[in-house]
A and B are shown apart, each in its own frame.
Chain A
Amino acid sequence: MEFRSWPAGSMSPGTDPAALRLITTAVVVGLVMSGVALVSGRGPVATEAAAQRPSAGRPGPGDPAQAAGLKLLSQAAQASRSISYQGVEMAWWGPGGGDMSMVEVWHQPGGQALTRAPGTTTGWPDQPHQPVPLAGSGGPNLDEAGVLTMSTRLVSLLAANYVIAAAGRGQVAGRPARIVTVRRRAGGLAAWFWLDSATSLPLRREMFDARAHLISNIAFAEVSIGRGAVSGEPAAVARAWRTTLAPGQLARLRAGGWPLPGPLPGNLTLIGAKETSTSSGPVVDLDYSDGLSVVSVFVQRGHLPARLSGWSQVALEGHKVFADDPDDLCFAWSAGGFVYTLIAAAPQQTVGQVVVALPHDDGPGWLSRMKHGLHRLLSWVSP
Protein backbone atom coordinates (compact mmCIF):
# COMPACT_ATOMS: atom_id res chain seq x y z
CA MET A 1 0.00 0.00 0.00
CA GLU A 2 1.26 3.46 -0.81
CA PHE A 3 1.19 6.37 1.54
CA ARG A 4 0.47 9.87 0.53
CA SER A 5 3.70 11.81 0.65
CA TRP A 6 4.31 14.44 3.23
CA PRO A 7 4.22 17.86 1.66
CA ALA A 8 7.51 19.56 1.04
CA GLY A 9 8.44 22.08 3.65
CA SER A 10 6.20 20.67 6.32
CA MET A 11 7.47 19.04 9.43
CA SER A 12 7.04 15.32 9.24
CA PRO A 13 5.89 13.33 12.26
CA GLY A 14 9.34 11.88 12.53
CA THR A 15 10.92 15.26 13.26
CA ASP A 16 8.45 16.65 15.78
CA PRO A 17 9.26 15.60 19.36
CA ALA A 18 5.62 15.74 20.42
CA ALA A 19 4.66 13.68 17.46
CA LEU A 20 7.40 11.21 18.18
CA ARG A 21 6.06 10.71 21.69
CA LEU A 22 2.56 10.17 20.41
CA ILE A 23 3.71 7.84 17.71
CA THR A 24 5.81 5.89 20.17
CA THR A 25 2.80 5.62 22.45
CA ALA A 26 0.64 4.52 19.56
CA VAL A 27 3.12 1.96 18.38
CA VAL A 28 3.54 0.51 21.85
CA VAL A 29 -0.21 0.38 22.35
CA GLY A 30 -0.65 -1.10 18.92
CA LEU A 31 1.98 -3.76 19.51
CA VAL A 32 0.45 -4.70 22.82
CA MET A 33 -3.02 -4.88 21.31
CA SER A 34 -1.74 -6.83 18.34
CA GLY A 35 -0.03 -9.27 20.65
CA VAL A 36 -3.21 -9.79 22.60
CA ALA A 37 -5.07 -10.16 19.33
CA LEU A 38 -2.69 -12.83 18.12
CA VAL A 39 -3.13 -14.74 21.34
CA SER A 40 -6.89 -14.42 21.23
CA GLY A 41 -7.05 -15.02 17.46
CA ARG A 42 -9.51 -12.18 16.94
CA GLY A 43 -7.36 -9.66 15.14
CA PRO A 44 -6.22 -6.31 16.56
CA VAL A 45 -9.35 -5.66 18.55
CA ALA A 46 -8.50 -7.09 21.90
CA THR A 47 -8.10 -4.81 24.87
CA GLU A 48 -8.81 -5.24 28.49
CA ALA A 49 -12.44 -4.78 27.58
CA ALA A 50 -12.36 -7.75 25.30
CA ALA A 51 -11.86 -10.07 28.20
CA GLN A 52 -15.07 -8.75 29.65
CA ARG A 53 -16.98 -8.76 26.36
CA PRO A 54 -20.31 -10.44 26.76
CA SER A 55 -21.69 -12.97 24.38
CA ALA A 56 -23.16 -11.60 21.17
CA GLY A 57 -26.34 -13.47 21.64
CA ARG A 58 -29.32 -11.91 19.93
CA PRO A 59 -31.84 -10.45 22.35
CA GLY A 60 -35.43 -11.29 21.75
CA PRO A 61 -38.22 -8.81 21.01
CA GLY A 62 -39.16 -6.76 24.02
CA ASP A 63 -35.91 -7.66 25.69
CA PRO A 64 -35.03 -5.03 28.30
CA ALA A 65 -31.51 -5.14 26.91
CA GLN A 66 -32.79 -3.55 23.70
CA ALA A 67 -34.39 -0.65 25.48
CA ALA A 68 -31.29 -0.25 27.62
CA GLY A 69 -29.06 -0.33 24.54
CA LEU A 70 -31.11 2.27 22.71
CA LYS A 71 -31.14 4.46 25.80
CA LEU A 72 -27.37 4.19 26.14
CA LEU A 73 -26.82 5.17 22.52
CA SER A 74 -29.21 8.10 22.85
CA GLN A 75 -27.24 9.25 25.86
CA ALA A 76 -24.06 8.80 23.82
CA ALA A 77 -25.45 11.10 21.13
CA GLN A 78 -26.20 13.70 23.76
CA ALA A 79 -22.76 13.31 25.31
CA SER A 80 -21.02 13.59 21.95
CA ARG A 81 -22.58 17.00 21.56
CA SER A 82 -22.40 18.37 25.08
CA ILE A 83 -19.24 17.07 26.73
CA SER A 84 -15.74 18.51 26.58
CA TYR A 85 -13.02 16.01 25.92
CA GLN A 86 -9.59 15.69 24.46
CA GLY A 87 -7.61 12.65 23.57
CA VAL A 88 -5.84 10.50 21.07
CA GLU A 89 -7.83 8.10 18.97
CA MET A 90 -6.38 5.16 17.14
CA ALA A 91 -8.09 3.42 14.27
CA TRP A 92 -7.50 0.09 12.62
CA TRP A 93 -9.09 -0.48 9.27
CA GLY A 94 -9.22 -3.15 6.67
CA PRO A 95 -9.21 -6.92 6.63
CA GLY A 96 -7.53 -8.15 9.77
CA GLY A 97 -7.23 -4.61 11.02
CA GLY A 98 -3.76 -4.36 9.52
CA ASP A 99 -3.99 -0.67 8.67
CA MET A 100 -3.71 1.89 11.41
CA SER A 101 -3.93 5.60 11.87
CA MET A 102 -3.87 7.96 14.83
CA VAL A 103 -5.40 11.35 15.41
CA GLU A 104 -5.62 13.95 18.15
CA VAL A 105 -9.16 14.98 19.01
CA TRP A 106 -10.60 18.05 20.74
CA HIS A 107 -14.21 18.72 21.43
CA GLN A 108 -16.06 21.57 23.08
CA PRO A 109 -19.75 21.52 23.95
CA GLY A 110 -21.96 22.30 20.98
CA GLY A 111 -19.23 21.85 18.39
CA GLN A 112 -17.88 19.10 16.27
CA ALA A 113 -14.78 17.13 17.07
CA LEU A 114 -11.60 18.73 15.79
CA THR A 115 -9.05 16.28 14.55
CA ARG A 116 -5.41 16.54 13.65
CA ALA A 117 -2.81 13.99 12.82
CA PRO A 118 0.14 14.23 15.21
CA GLY A 119 2.91 16.36 13.80
CA THR A 120 0.69 18.17 11.35
CA THR A 121 1.84 21.72 11.81
CA THR A 122 0.90 23.14 8.46
CA GLY A 123 -2.44 23.13 6.75
CA TRP A 124 -3.45 22.78 3.17
CA PRO A 125 -2.34 21.17 1.01
CA ASP A 126 -1.24 18.95 3.85
CA GLN A 127 -3.42 15.98 4.56
CA PRO A 128 -5.90 17.12 7.17
CA HIS A 129 -5.68 13.82 8.97
CA GLN A 130 -2.44 12.22 8.03
CA PRO A 131 -2.26 8.47 8.46
CA VAL A 132 0.53 7.13 10.57
CA PRO A 133 2.24 4.24 8.90
CA LEU A 134 3.38 1.28 10.91
CA ALA A 135 6.18 -0.92 9.79
CA GLY A 136 4.91 -3.39 7.25
CA SER A 137 1.42 -2.02 7.12
CA GLY A 138 -0.48 0.61 5.26
CA GLY A 139 -2.17 3.63 6.66
CA PRO A 140 -5.64 4.58 5.62
CA ASN A 141 -7.18 7.88 6.40
CA LEU A 142 -8.99 8.12 9.66
CA ASP A 143 -12.10 9.27 7.89
CA GLU A 144 -12.56 5.75 6.68
CA ALA A 145 -13.28 4.71 10.21
CA GLY A 146 -14.80 7.98 11.27
CA VAL A 147 -14.32 9.24 14.77
CA LEU A 148 -16.00 8.23 17.94
CA THR A 149 -19.03 10.37 17.84
CA MET A 150 -22.72 9.79 17.78
CA SER A 151 -25.69 11.90 16.76
CA THR A 152 -29.40 11.66 17.39
CA ARG A 153 -30.00 11.13 13.70
CA LEU A 154 -27.55 8.26 13.50
CA VAL A 155 -29.06 6.65 16.59
CA SER A 156 -32.52 6.80 15.05
CA LEU A 157 -31.19 5.21 11.87
CA LEU A 158 -29.42 2.57 13.90
CA ALA A 159 -32.65 1.79 15.72
CA ALA A 160 -34.50 1.56 12.42
CA ASN A 161 -32.02 -0.70 10.65
CA TYR A 162 -30.41 -2.76 13.41
CA VAL A 163 -31.17 -4.45 16.70
CA ILE A 164 -29.51 -2.59 19.55
CA ALA A 165 -28.94 -4.09 22.97
CA ALA A 166 -26.94 -3.42 26.11
CA ALA A 167 -24.48 -6.23 26.54
CA GLY A 168 -22.32 -5.76 29.57
CA ARG A 169 -19.40 -3.77 30.86
CA GLY A 170 -15.80 -3.25 29.87
CA GLN A 171 -12.97 -0.79 30.11
CA VAL A 172 -11.31 1.52 27.59
CA ALA A 173 -8.31 3.79 28.20
CA GLY A 174 -8.58 3.05 31.88
CA ARG A 175 -12.22 4.14 32.05
CA PRO A 176 -15.14 1.84 32.90
CA ALA A 177 -17.50 1.44 29.96
CA ARG A 178 -20.90 0.05 29.07
CA ILE A 179 -21.02 -2.16 25.99
CA VAL A 180 -23.78 -2.01 23.41
CA THR A 181 -24.17 -4.50 20.57
CA VAL A 182 -25.61 -3.65 17.19
CA ARG A 183 -26.89 -6.62 15.21
CA ARG A 184 -28.32 -6.86 11.73
CA ARG A 185 -32.01 -7.61 11.57
CA ALA A 186 -31.23 -10.53 9.29
CA GLY A 187 -28.78 -11.78 11.88
CA GLY A 188 -25.11 -11.24 12.49
CA LEU A 189 -23.09 -8.82 14.55
CA ALA A 190 -22.65 -5.40 12.96
CA ALA A 191 -20.88 -3.37 15.68
CA TRP A 192 -19.86 -3.04 19.31
CA PHE A 193 -19.90 0.28 21.13
CA TRP A 194 -18.07 1.00 24.36
CA LEU A 195 -19.63 4.00 26.11
CA ASP A 196 -18.07 5.75 29.06
CA SER A 197 -19.94 4.59 32.18
CA ALA A 198 -19.78 8.03 33.77
CA THR A 199 -20.69 10.23 30.80
CA SER A 200 -21.91 7.85 28.02
CA LEU A 201 -19.27 9.32 25.69
CA PRO A 202 -18.32 6.77 23.01
CA LEU A 203 -14.86 5.43 23.77
CA ARG A 204 -14.53 2.61 21.31
CA ARG A 205 -16.31 1.07 18.33
CA GLU A 206 -15.78 -2.11 16.34
CA MET A 207 -17.53 -2.66 13.04
CA PHE A 208 -18.07 -5.96 11.27
CA ASP A 209 -19.12 -6.80 7.74
CA ALA A 210 -21.97 -9.12 6.80
CA ARG A 211 -19.66 -12.11 7.23
CA ALA A 212 -18.81 -11.00 10.76
CA HIS A 213 -15.27 -10.05 9.75
CA LEU A 214 -13.84 -7.11 11.66
CA ILE A 215 -13.51 -4.17 9.28
CA SER A 216 -12.71 -1.30 11.64
CA ASN A 217 -11.81 -0.65 15.23
CA ILE A 218 -11.46 2.83 16.61
CA ALA A 219 -10.71 3.57 20.25
CA PHE A 220 -9.34 6.22 22.53
CA ALA A 221 -5.77 5.45 23.53
CA GLU A 222 -5.86 8.46 25.83
CA VAL A 223 -8.80 10.58 26.83
CA SER A 224 -9.54 13.41 29.25
CA ILE A 225 -13.19 14.23 29.85
CA GLY A 226 -14.81 17.24 31.45
CA ARG A 227 -14.34 20.96 31.84
CA GLY A 228 -10.74 21.95 31.85
CA ALA A 229 -9.75 18.80 30.03
CA VAL A 230 -9.35 20.54 26.71
CA SER A 231 -6.15 22.46 26.05
CA GLY A 232 -4.13 23.35 23.02
CA GLU A 233 -7.19 23.26 20.82
CA PRO A 234 -6.42 24.36 17.27
CA ALA A 235 -7.66 27.78 16.35
CA ALA A 236 -8.98 27.21 12.88
CA VAL A 237 -10.97 24.47 11.29
CA ALA A 238 -12.05 23.33 7.88
CA ARG A 239 -15.67 24.15 7.36
CA ALA A 240 -18.49 22.29 5.80
CA TRP A 241 -19.91 23.66 2.58
CA ARG A 242 -22.30 26.39 3.47
CA THR A 243 -25.10 25.67 1.06
CA THR A 244 -27.30 22.96 2.46
CA LEU A 245 -29.77 21.73 -0.11
CA ALA A 246 -33.35 21.50 1.04
CA PRO A 247 -35.63 18.80 -0.40
CA GLY A 248 -37.19 21.35 -2.76
CA GLN A 249 -33.79 22.37 -4.10
CA LEU A 250 -32.86 18.74 -4.59
CA ALA A 251 -36.09 18.19 -6.50
CA ARG A 252 -35.32 21.14 -8.76
CA LEU A 253 -31.83 19.83 -9.45
CA ARG A 254 -33.25 16.42 -10.26
CA ALA A 255 -35.74 18.03 -12.62
CA GLY A 256 -32.77 19.71 -14.28
CA GLY A 257 -31.22 16.36 -15.01
CA TRP A 258 -28.99 15.93 -11.98
CA PRO A 259 -28.77 12.27 -10.97
CA LEU A 260 -29.25 12.66 -7.21
CA PRO A 261 -30.60 9.43 -5.79
CA GLY A 262 -32.67 9.29 -2.64
CA PRO A 263 -32.14 6.17 -0.59
CA LEU A 264 -29.44 3.75 -1.69
CA PRO A 265 -29.14 -0.01 -1.28
CA GLY A 266 -27.99 -1.25 2.10
CA ASN A 267 -30.65 0.74 3.97
CA LEU A 268 -28.69 3.90 3.29
CA THR A 269 -30.82 6.97 3.90
CA LEU A 270 -29.98 10.37 2.50
CA ILE A 271 -29.04 12.28 5.64
CA GLY A 272 -27.71 15.44 4.08
CA ALA A 273 -27.05 17.29 0.85
CA LYS A 274 -24.68 20.19 0.39
CA GLU A 275 -23.49 22.19 -2.57
CA THR A 276 -20.52 24.32 -3.42
CA SER A 277 -19.49 26.24 -6.50
CA THR A 278 -16.34 25.64 -8.49
CA SER A 279 -14.86 27.07 -11.64
CA SER A 280 -16.43 24.22 -13.57
CA GLY A 281 -19.81 24.47 -11.94
CA PRO A 282 -21.49 23.26 -8.80
CA VAL A 283 -20.59 20.12 -6.86
CA VAL A 284 -23.30 18.38 -4.86
CA ASP A 285 -22.36 16.31 -1.82
CA LEU A 286 -24.91 13.66 -0.91
CA ASP A 287 -24.40 11.90 2.41
CA TYR A 288 -26.01 8.57 3.20
CA SER A 289 -26.06 6.46 6.33
CA ASP A 290 -27.76 3.46 7.86
CA GLY A 291 -26.73 4.65 11.30
CA LEU A 292 -23.46 2.80 11.20
CA SER A 293 -21.97 3.26 7.75
CA VAL A 294 -21.52 6.64 6.11
CA VAL A 295 -21.24 7.03 2.34
CA SER A 296 -20.63 10.37 0.64
CA VAL A 297 -21.34 10.76 -3.08
CA PHE A 298 -20.04 13.90 -4.82
CA VAL A 299 -21.71 14.69 -8.12
CA GLN A 300 -20.59 17.33 -10.62
CA ARG A 301 -21.10 17.95 -14.30
CA GLY A 302 -18.32 16.84 -16.64
CA HIS A 303 -16.31 13.79 -17.44
CA LEU A 304 -13.12 12.20 -16.21
CA PRO A 305 -9.99 12.14 -18.35
CA ALA A 306 -8.81 8.82 -19.72
CA ARG A 307 -6.15 8.69 -17.03
CA LEU A 308 -6.11 10.10 -13.53
CA SER A 309 -2.74 10.67 -11.96
CA GLY A 310 -2.47 8.85 -8.65
CA TRP A 311 -5.57 6.78 -9.33
CA SER A 312 -5.81 3.28 -10.65
CA GLN A 313 -8.53 1.74 -12.76
CA VAL A 314 -10.30 -1.17 -11.13
CA ALA A 315 -13.39 -3.21 -11.82
CA LEU A 316 -15.96 -2.90 -9.08
CA GLU A 317 -19.05 -5.06 -9.35
CA GLY A 318 -18.47 -5.25 -13.09
CA HIS A 319 -18.03 -1.52 -13.57
CA LYS A 320 -14.78 0.22 -14.46
CA VAL A 321 -14.00 2.90 -11.91
CA PHE A 322 -10.97 4.80 -10.70
CA ALA A 323 -9.76 3.98 -7.20
CA ASP A 324 -7.84 6.55 -5.21
CA ASP A 325 -6.45 3.68 -3.20
CA PRO A 326 -7.95 0.20 -3.29
CA ASP A 327 -8.20 0.21 0.51
CA ASP A 328 -9.44 3.76 0.77
CA LEU A 329 -12.95 3.01 -0.41
CA CYS A 330 -12.72 6.14 -2.54
CA PHE A 331 -13.83 5.68 -6.13
CA ALA A 332 -14.60 7.95 -9.07
CA TRP A 333 -16.19 7.49 -12.47
CA SER A 334 -18.17 9.49 -14.98
CA ALA A 335 -21.43 8.67 -16.69
CA GLY A 336 -24.03 10.58 -18.62
CA GLY A 337 -22.20 13.88 -18.36
CA PHE A 338 -21.63 13.69 -14.60
CA VAL A 339 -18.64 12.76 -12.49
CA TYR A 340 -19.26 10.69 -9.37
CA THR A 341 -16.79 10.52 -6.49
CA LEU A 342 -17.69 8.11 -3.74
CA ILE A 343 -16.05 8.08 -0.32
CA ALA A 344 -17.26 5.49 2.15
CA ALA A 345 -16.86 4.46 5.73
CA ALA A 346 -18.76 1.25 5.18
CA PRO A 347 -18.29 -2.44 4.52
CA GLN A 348 -17.12 -3.26 1.02
CA GLN A 349 -20.35 -5.12 0.31
CA THR A 350 -22.29 -1.94 1.00
CA VAL A 351 -19.95 0.08 -1.18
CA GLY A 352 -20.41 -2.42 -4.00
CA GLN A 353 -24.18 -2.13 -3.73
CA VAL A 354 -23.96 1.65 -3.88
CA VAL A 355 -21.65 1.63 -6.89
CA VAL A 356 -24.01 -0.66 -8.76
CA ALA A 357 -27.00 1.53 -7.93
CA LEU A 358 -25.42 4.69 -9.37
CA PRO A 359 -25.32 5.45 -13.12
CA HIS A 360 -22.52 4.08 -15.27
CA ASP A 361 -21.45 4.38 -18.90
CA ASP A 362 -19.89 1.10 -19.77
CA GLY A 363 -19.69 2.02 -23.45
CA PRO A 364 -22.17 1.09 -26.17
CA GLY A 365 -21.35 -1.72 -28.56
CA TRP A 366 -20.12 -0.94 -32.06
CA LEU A 367 -23.52 -1.82 -33.48
CA SER A 368 -25.30 0.71 -31.30
CA ARG A 369 -22.65 3.25 -32.14
CA MET A 370 -23.12 2.65 -35.89
CA LYS A 371 -26.87 2.94 -35.47
CA HIS A 372 -26.50 6.16 -33.53
CA GLY A 373 -24.06 7.51 -36.14
CA LEU A 374 -26.39 6.64 -38.99
CA HIS A 375 -29.25 8.45 -37.30
CA ARG A 376 -27.03 11.44 -36.70
CA LEU A 377 -25.80 11.58 -40.29
CA LEU A 378 -29.36 11.25 -41.60
CA SER A 379 -30.43 14.06 -39.31
CA TRP A 380 -27.68 16.21 -40.76
CA VAL A 381 -28.84 15.40 -44.36
CA SER A 382 -32.52 15.81 -43.55
CA PRO A 383 -32.93 17.68 -40.30
Chain B
Amino acid sequence: MRRHLGERLSALIDGELNDAQRERVLAHLAKCEECRTEAAALRMLKRRMHTLGEAAAADALTWRLLALAPAAGEEQTGRWAMRAAHWPGWLPAAGQRRHAWSLVAAGLATAGLGLAAAVFLAGGDRPPGPRIVPAVDVFMVQHAITTGQVPVQPAGTPSPVLSTVP
Protein backbone atom coordinates (compact mmCIF):
# COMPACT_ATOMS: atom_id res chain seq x y z
CA MET B 1 0.00 0.00 0.00
CA ARG B 2 1.40 3.30 -1.01
CA ARG B 3 1.87 5.79 1.87
CA HIS B 4 0.76 9.38 1.32
CA LEU B 5 2.52 12.42 2.70
CA GLY B 6 0.01 13.31 5.49
CA GLU B 7 1.42 15.85 7.94
CA ARG B 8 4.58 16.20 5.86
CA LEU B 9 2.48 18.14 3.34
CA SER B 10 1.71 20.77 6.00
CA ALA B 11 5.37 20.85 6.99
CA LEU B 12 6.30 21.32 3.31
CA ILE B 13 3.84 24.18 2.89
CA ASP B 14 5.03 25.78 6.13
CA GLY B 15 8.67 25.46 5.03
CA GLU B 16 9.58 23.34 7.96
CA LEU B 17 11.38 20.53 6.09
CA ASN B 18 15.10 20.29 5.50
CA ASP B 19 16.51 19.73 2.03
CA ALA B 20 16.57 15.92 2.09
CA GLN B 21 13.04 15.68 3.47
CA ARG B 22 11.79 18.24 0.93
CA GLU B 23 13.39 16.19 -1.97
CA ARG B 24 11.72 13.03 -0.85
CA VAL B 25 8.33 14.82 -0.39
CA LEU B 26 8.55 16.44 -3.80
CA ALA B 27 9.49 13.07 -5.40
CA HIS B 28 6.37 11.60 -3.88
CA LEU B 29 4.18 14.48 -5.09
CA ALA B 30 5.47 13.96 -8.61
CA LYS B 31 4.06 10.41 -8.62
CA CYS B 32 0.94 10.89 -6.39
CA GLU B 33 -2.03 12.85 -7.76
CA GLU B 34 -3.95 12.61 -4.51
CA CYS B 35 -1.13 14.23 -2.48
CA ARG B 36 -0.73 16.98 -5.07
CA THR B 37 -4.43 17.89 -4.74
CA GLU B 38 -4.21 17.90 -0.96
CA ALA B 39 -1.08 20.08 -1.03
CA ALA B 40 -2.79 22.61 -3.31
CA ALA B 41 -5.80 22.79 -0.96
CA LEU B 42 -3.57 23.32 2.04
CA ARG B 43 -1.62 26.06 0.30
CA MET B 44 -4.78 27.94 -0.64
CA LEU B 45 -6.17 27.69 2.87
CA LYS B 46 -3.01 29.00 4.37
CA ARG B 47 -2.95 31.93 1.98
CA ARG B 48 -6.48 32.89 2.84
CA MET B 49 -5.84 32.60 6.51
CA HIS B 50 -2.73 34.65 6.17
CA THR B 51 -4.61 37.34 4.35
CA LEU B 52 -7.30 37.54 6.99
CA GLY B 53 -4.74 37.54 9.79
CA GLU B 54 -2.76 40.43 8.27
CA ALA B 55 -5.83 42.63 7.89
CA ALA B 56 -7.01 42.10 11.46
CA ALA B 57 -3.57 42.69 12.91
CA ALA B 58 -3.11 45.84 10.87
CA ASP B 59 -6.36 47.49 12.13
CA ALA B 60 -5.80 46.60 15.77
CA LEU B 61 -2.26 47.82 15.63
CA THR B 62 -3.35 51.08 14.01
CA TRP B 63 -5.88 51.91 16.71
CA ARG B 64 -3.59 50.90 19.49
CA LEU B 65 -0.98 53.21 18.08
CA LEU B 66 -3.55 55.96 17.78
CA ALA B 67 -4.47 55.42 21.38
CA LEU B 68 -0.86 55.67 22.49
CA ALA B 69 0.17 58.56 20.22
CA PRO B 70 -2.75 60.81 19.25
CA ALA B 71 -2.43 62.70 16.05
CA ALA B 72 -2.07 66.49 15.89
CA GLY B 73 -1.70 66.88 19.65
CA GLU B 74 -5.10 65.43 20.37
CA GLU B 75 -4.83 63.43 23.53
CA GLN B 76 -6.66 60.17 23.48
CA THR B 77 -8.18 59.14 26.76
CA GLY B 78 -8.19 55.61 28.03
CA ARG B 79 -11.88 55.35 27.38
CA TRP B 80 -11.40 56.54 23.82
CA ALA B 81 -8.69 53.97 23.37
CA MET B 82 -10.84 51.21 24.75
CA ARG B 83 -13.70 52.17 22.53
CA ALA B 84 -11.36 52.37 19.61
CA ALA B 85 -10.02 48.97 20.37
CA HIS B 86 -13.43 47.38 20.64
CA TRP B 87 -15.33 49.37 18.02
CA PRO B 88 -12.83 50.56 15.51
CA GLY B 89 -15.50 52.18 13.33
CA TRP B 90 -17.17 54.04 16.16
CA LEU B 91 -14.89 57.04 16.40
CA PRO B 92 -15.36 60.10 14.20
CA ALA B 93 -12.56 61.75 12.36
CA ALA B 94 -10.04 63.77 14.39
CA GLY B 95 -11.38 67.16 13.23
CA GLN B 96 -14.89 66.15 14.11
CA ARG B 97 -13.75 65.04 17.55
CA ARG B 98 -12.03 68.39 18.19
CA HIS B 99 -15.23 70.20 17.19
CA ALA B 100 -17.23 68.00 19.54
CA TRP B 101 -14.83 68.76 22.38
CA SER B 102 -15.18 72.50 21.74
CA LEU B 103 -18.94 72.22 21.91
CA VAL B 104 -18.74 70.24 25.12
CA ALA B 105 -16.34 72.75 26.68
CA ALA B 106 -18.54 75.71 25.69
CA GLY B 107 -21.60 73.97 27.08
CA LEU B 108 -19.88 73.22 30.35
CA ALA B 109 -18.62 76.81 30.65
CA THR B 110 -22.09 78.20 30.00
CA ALA B 111 -23.62 75.86 32.53
CA GLY B 112 -20.95 76.79 35.06
CA LEU B 113 -21.50 80.49 34.61
CA GLY B 114 -25.25 80.03 34.85
CA LEU B 115 -24.87 78.04 38.03
CA ALA B 116 -22.53 80.63 39.53
CA ALA B 117 -24.98 83.40 38.67
CA ALA B 118 -27.83 81.44 40.22
CA VAL B 119 -25.81 80.85 43.37
CA PHE B 120 -24.85 84.54 43.58
CA LEU B 121 -28.42 85.69 43.08
CA ALA B 122 -29.75 83.18 45.57
CA GLY B 123 -27.17 84.37 48.09
CA GLY B 124 -28.49 87.93 48.02
CA ASP B 125 -31.15 88.75 50.52
CA ARG B 126 -34.00 91.02 49.62
CA PRO B 127 -34.17 93.53 52.43
CA PRO B 128 -36.92 92.44 54.75
CA GLY B 129 -39.87 94.56 55.71
CA PRO B 130 -41.39 97.62 54.09
CA ARG B 131 -39.39 100.37 52.47
CA ILE B 132 -39.19 103.21 54.96
CA VAL B 133 -38.53 106.92 54.61
CA PRO B 134 -37.83 108.20 58.13
CA ALA B 135 -40.43 110.74 59.26
CA VAL B 136 -37.64 112.93 60.53
CA ASP B 137 -39.83 115.94 61.29
CA VAL B 138 -42.06 113.82 63.49
CA PHE B 139 -39.05 112.27 65.15
CA MET B 140 -37.50 115.67 65.77
CA VAL B 141 -40.63 116.77 67.56
CA GLN B 142 -40.43 113.74 69.83
CA HIS B 143 -36.74 114.38 70.37
CA ALA B 144 -37.48 117.99 71.21
CA ILE B 145 -40.06 116.88 73.74
CA THR B 146 -37.45 114.63 75.27
CA THR B 147 -35.05 117.54 75.57
CA GLY B 148 -37.72 119.50 77.35
CA GLN B 149 -39.54 121.54 74.78
CA VAL B 150 -42.85 121.09 73.08
CA PRO B 151 -43.01 122.70 69.67
CA VAL B 152 -46.19 124.58 69.05
CA GLN B 153 -48.83 123.09 66.85
CA PRO B 154 -51.58 125.60 66.14
CA ALA B 155 -55.13 124.44 66.73
CA GLY B 156 -57.00 122.84 63.86
CA THR B 157 -53.89 121.67 62.12
CA PRO B 158 -53.76 117.96 61.39
CA SER B 159 -50.98 116.03 63.00
CA PRO B 160 -48.31 114.64 60.76
CA VAL B 161 -48.65 111.02 59.81
CA LEU B 162 -45.85 108.55 59.66
CA SER B 163 -45.89 106.87 56.31
CA THR B 164 -43.90 104.46 54.26
CA VAL B 165 -42.94 104.41 50.64
CA PRO B 166 -45.26 102.05 48.77
Using CB atoms and an 8 Å cutoff, list the residues of chain A in contact with chain B: 80, 103, 105, 111-116, 120-125, 127-129, 141-143, 146-147, 149-151, 234-241, 271-272, 274, 276, 278-281, 283, 285, 287, 294, 296, 298, 300-305, 308-309, 324, 330, 332, 334, 337-339, 341, 343, 345, 366, 368-374, 376-377
Contacts and interface: CB of A to CB of B under 8 A. Distances in A.
A146 B154 contact: no
Contacts of A80: 148
Contact of A236 (B131, B135, B141, B153): B153
A330 B144 CA distance: 13
Nearest to A310: B136
Contacts of B135: 278
Given A114-B150, A123-B154, A304-B131, A296 B121 contact: no
B121 to A, nearest CB: 7
Contact of A341 (B120, B134, B157): B134
B132 A129 contact: no
A115 B147 contact: no
Given A334-B127, A337-B128, A373-B118, A238 B150 contact: yes
14 contacts: A113-B150, A128-B152, A149-B148, A149-B149, A236-B152, A278-B135, A278-B161, A330-B136, A332-B134, A334-B132, A337-B129, A345-B147, A370-B116, A373-B123
Interface in B91-120: 116, 118-120
Interface of B: 116, 118-125, 127-137, 139-165
B126 to A, nearest CB: 9
Contacts of B143: 143, 287, 294, 296, 343, 345
Given A115-B150, A374-B119, A278 B162 contact: yes
B100 to A, nearest CB: 30
A124 B162 contact: no
A303 B148 contact: no
Contacts of B125: 372
3 cross-chain pairs, A with B, having the tightest CB-CB distances, nearest first: A373-B123, A128-B151, A123-B157
Nearest to A367: B123
Given A124-B157, A377-B119, A377-B122, A301 B130 contact: yes
Contacts of B145: 112, 238, 240
A116 B165 contact: no
Contacts of B137: 124-125, 127-128
Contact of A279 (B150, B158, B159, B163): B163
B137 to A, nearest CB: 7
Nearest to B144: A143
Contact of A343 (B124, B139, B154, B162): B139
A206 to B, nearest CB: 16
Given A115-B149, A373-B119, A376-B123, 16 more contacts: A111-B150, A114-B150, A114-B151, A122-B154, A147-B149, A238-B150, A241-B142, A278-B162, A285-B142, A301-B129, A303-B127, A305-B131, A332-B134, A343-B136, A373-B121, A377-B118
Contacts, number: 209
A370 B120 contact: yes
A151 B147 CA distance: 10
Contact of B149 (A105, A123, A369): A105
Contacts of B130: 280-281, 301-303
A318 to B, nearest CB: 21
A66 to B, nearest CB: 24
Given A373-B118, A373-B124, A278 B164 contact: yes
Contact of B152 (A123, A143, A149, A345): A123
Nearest to B119: A373
A235 to B, nearest CB: 5
A146 B127 contact: no
A173 to B, nearest CB: 18
B120 A369 contact: yes
A112 B150 contact: yes
Contact of B127 (A143, A280, A308, A337): A337
